Amino acid sequence: MKKILLLLLLVSGAAFAQKPVFTTAKVTEATVYYNAAALTQRATAILPAGTSEVVVKNVADYLNESTIQIGAPENVTVLSVQFTRDYITEYEPDEGSPALKKVRDSITLVTKEIQKVSTQKANELKTIELLDKNQQVSGTQTGLSVAELVKLVDYYKLKRNELNTSYNTLTEKEQKLNELLQKLNTRLTTNTQKEEKASQGKLVLQVMAEAAGTVPFTISYLTQGANWVPFYDLRADNTTGPMDMMYKAQVTQNTGVDWKKVKLTLSSGTPNQNNQAPQLNAWFLQLQQPIEKALQGQFAGVQVDDKANELEEVVVVGYGKKRKDITGSVSAVVIENQLNVSFDIDIPYDVANNGKAHSVSLKEIKLPATYRHYSVPRVEQEAFLIAEITDYSKYNLLPGDANIIFDGMYIGKTRINPNQTADTLSLSMGRDKKISIKREKIADKSGTKFLSSFKEQTFTYETTIRNNKKESASIILKDQFPLSTDKDIEITMVKDDGAKINADTHIMTWELKLQPGETKKIRISYTVRYPKDRVIPNL
C-alpha cells in the first residue's frame, strides 16, 4: 500500500514538474470606456493529457485581476489563474522571429570580428614602434662595418613596409566591418519597429485536459490603460442650409499591448464607478453658538468677481456700503441603453501602444439648424454666429470639443455640451466679421448735474449694427443698465429703444432682422441720482 501511495505521489509530482506550455495572446476585441478598456484576447496551446501549466504572454501590463475570465472547451478545466509581470523560467523560449534572430546573430559575429581586427592593428602598431626604437639604438652603436649597416637598413625598410601594408589592410577591413555592423543595426531597428512588441504582463494558468490536443483559450479582463474622448467637425457653407457634423473619437491606449485589427467598441459608461444607489438617512438640525459681530463684519466686504465675456447684473452701491450678493458616412452602429451609449465600429482598427490619440470616425449627421447672431457690445463689439439645434437628444451627442469650418474656412473651436435641460442646443460657430457692430457713448447726451444735495449723472450709448452679408441676418443684441441696492441711489431708464428688460437683472434684449447692407442704430439712456458727497466706484 505504501509503495502504491509513493508511486502516485511521484507521478503527481512529475506532472506538476513538467515544462510549462507557452503561448502568446492576440487582442481581438476592445471595448473602450472613458477611463478603462475591456479587452478580449485569444490564444491556443498544445496540451498533453492531465494537468499542465500554461503561461499566456502578451497580456496588458496592468489589469484588474478580479475581472479576469478564461474561456476554454468543455474537456479542459481551468484550475487557477494568476497574473504576473515577473515570470522567469529557463524553459521560456527566445523572443522574436527567426529573421530577427538571424540579424542578432550576425551582429554578434561582426562585433567579435571587429574586436579581433582591432587587436591585430594594435599589435602591428606596437611592432612598428619597437622596430623604430631598435633602429635608432642600432644606428648609435659604433664598430659596424659598411656592409652590416647596409644589410640592417635593407631589413628595416623591408620589415617597415610589410608592417605598414598589414596595418593599412586591417584598417580597411575594420572600416568595412563597421559599415556592415551599421547596416545590421539599421535592419534590426526596422524589424523591431515592424514587429508587434510583447508586453510584460503574463497569465499563469493551471489547467487539466481530458485528452491531449490543441486547445483554444478566450481571455477577457479590464485594464486602466486606455480611454477615449468624443470630438466633432462642424461644417456649414451658409446660414440657410443644414450643418454637417462629423462625429469622431480620439482613442488612446497605453496597455502594453498593440491592438492589431481589433473589433473596436466605444462606450460612454464608467465600469469602475460606484454602482451602489445612494440612500437618505434622517436629517437632524442642531443649534450652534451665534457668530460674533466682529466676524460678521469681516465677511461683509467679500465680493464675487465678474466672469469674463459675460453680461452680468451690475449693482451700483455707494462707497463704504455693502454690495448685494447676486445669484444669478456612418462607420459605427449606435447602441443606446438606459445607462450609456455605445458605438460598434464596423471596420477593424489598429491602435498602437504609444499613448498617442488615434482618430476614429463614428458617424456623419445632417443637423437641421437655425442660425442667429448674438452680440453683447458692452463686453465685446463683435457678432457671434449661433447655430440652434432642436430635438438634439436623438443624435446621442456626448460632451466634447468641436472644430468649426464655415464657408470652407477653419474658424476655430467650440464646445458641445448636450447635458442640459434646454430644448434647444446652441452651438457657437465663432465670430462673424461681416456683421459690423460699434457701441459708443454720446457725449452731448451725457453729463452731470448738481441738484441741491444730490448729483445726477446721465449716460447715453448708441450701438450701430450693419449687415455686410449678401443674405439677411437675425441678430440678438444685449445691453444693460445698473441696479441699486441703496435707497439713496435712484436709477431711471430714460430711453430703452423697445428693448425687452429683465426686471431682476436689468439686462436688455433686442431681436433684430437686418437685410443685406442694412444698418440699424439702438440708443439707450439712463440716469443715476445719488448724494453728491458720496462716491460710486463701479459706476
Q: How far apart are CA 223 and CA 268, in angstroms?
A: 16
Residue 498 has pLDDT above 80, yes or no: yes
Residue 487 has pLDDT above 50, yes or no: yes
**What dotted CATH number matches 98-194?**
1.10.287
Q: Per mean pLDDT, which of 79-88, 191-200, 288-297 is the most reliable?
A: 79-88
Q: How far apart are CA 324 and CA 312, in angstroms?
A: 14
Residue 14 has pLDDT above 50, yes or no: no
β-bridge mates for residue 451, sequence order: 454
Q: Return the percentage of the chain with pLDDT > 70, whole number.
A: 78
pLDDT bucket at 73, cuts 50 / 70 / 90: very high
Which amino acid is it at 296? Q
3-state secondary structure 302-334: CCCCCCCCCCCCCEECCCCCCCCCCCCCCCEEE
3-state secondary structure 65-115: EEEEEEECCCCEEEEEEEEECCCCCCCCCCCCCHHHHHHHHHHHHHHHHHH
Across 355-375, average pLDDT: 88
Which amino acid is it at 199? S
Residue 278 has pLDDT above 80, yes or no: no
Residue 222 has pLDDT above 90, yes or no: yes
- What are the Cα distances from residue 233, in Å, to 199, 291, 329, 330? 35, 55, 13, 14
pLDDT in tens, 105-146: 888 888 888 888 888 888 888 887 777 776 554 444 555 666
Residue 31 has pLDDT above 90, yes or no: yes
Q: Which residue has the cell 452602429?
A: 333
Structure confidence at residue 319 (pLDDT): 44
Q: How far apart are CA 248 and CA 229, in angstroms?
A: 9
Residue 220's closest CA among 467, 36, 87, 382?
36
Say if residues 230 and 208 touch (Cβ distance below 8 Å).
no
- Cβ–Cβ contacts within 10 Å for residue 103, how many? 22
Structure confidence at residue 142 (pLDDT): 52
Backbone angles phi and psi of 161, in degrees to 5: -65, -40
Say if residues 253 and 225 touch (Cβ distance below 8 Å).
yes
pLDDT bucket at 394, cuts 50 / 70 / 90: confident
Domain boundaries, the chain: 20-85+202-222, 98-194, 286-328+369-539
More confident residue, 335 or 414: 414
**Region of poorest pLDDT, from 309-313, 320-324, 410-414:** 320-324
Which amino acid is it at 303? Q
pLDDT bucket at 59, cuts 50 / 70 / 90: very high
More confident residue, 447 or 307: 447
Strands 380-390 and 424-431: antiparallel
Identify the three-state secondary structure at position 245: strand
pLDDT bucket at 304, cuts 50 / 70 / 90: very low
Q: Return the percentage of the chain with pLDDT > 90, whole number.
A: 35
pLDDT bucket at 15, cuts 50 / 70 / 90: very low
**Region of poorest pLDDT, from 2-11, 245-254, 330-339, 510-519:** 2-11
Say if residues 509 and 378 touch (Cβ distance below 8 Å).
no
Instruction: Give per-residue burial for 501-524: e unless 16+ CB within 10 Å, then b.
Output: eeeebbbbebebebeeeeebebeb
Residue 344 has pLDDT above 50, yes or no: yes
Structure confidence at residue 8 (pLDDT): 41
Across 23-34, average pLDDT: 93
Q: How far apart are CA 118 and CA 170, in angstroms?
A: 8
Across 428-451, average pLDDT: 89
What is the 8-class DSSP label of residue 8? H
**Region of poorest pLDDT, from 172-186, 283-297, 438-452:** 283-297
For the record, the C-alpha cell of 338 comes out as: 438606459
Say if residues 203 and 55 touch (Cβ distance below 8 Å).
yes
Across 157-165, average pLDDT: 80
Say if residues 222 and 67 touch (Cβ distance below 8 Å).
yes
Structure confidence at residue 230 (pLDDT): 92
Q: How far apart are CA 432 and CA 426, in angstroms?
A: 16
Strands 76-84 and 64-71: unpaired
Residue 2 has pLDDT above 60, yes or no: no
For the record, the C-alpha cell of 484 comes out as: 441699486
pLDDT bucket at 27, cuts 50 / 70 / 90: very high
Q: Which residue has the cell 462625429?
A: 247
**What dotted CATH number matches 20-85+202-222?**
2.60.40
Residue 26's closest CA among 261, 264, 351, 222?
261
**Region of poorest pLDDT, from 95-99, 364-368, 481-485:** 95-99
Say if residues 480 and 527 touch (Cβ distance below 8 Å).
no
DSSP sequence for 382-412: EEEEEEEEESGGGGT--SEEEEEEETTEEEE
3-state SS of the chain: helix, strand, coil percent to 5?
Answer: 25, 45, 35
- What are the Cα distances from residue 34, in Å, to 246, 267, 315? 20, 7, 43
Across 277-293, average pLDDT: 62
Strands 519-531 and 507-514: unpaired
pLDDT bucket at 331, cuts 50 / 70 / 90: low
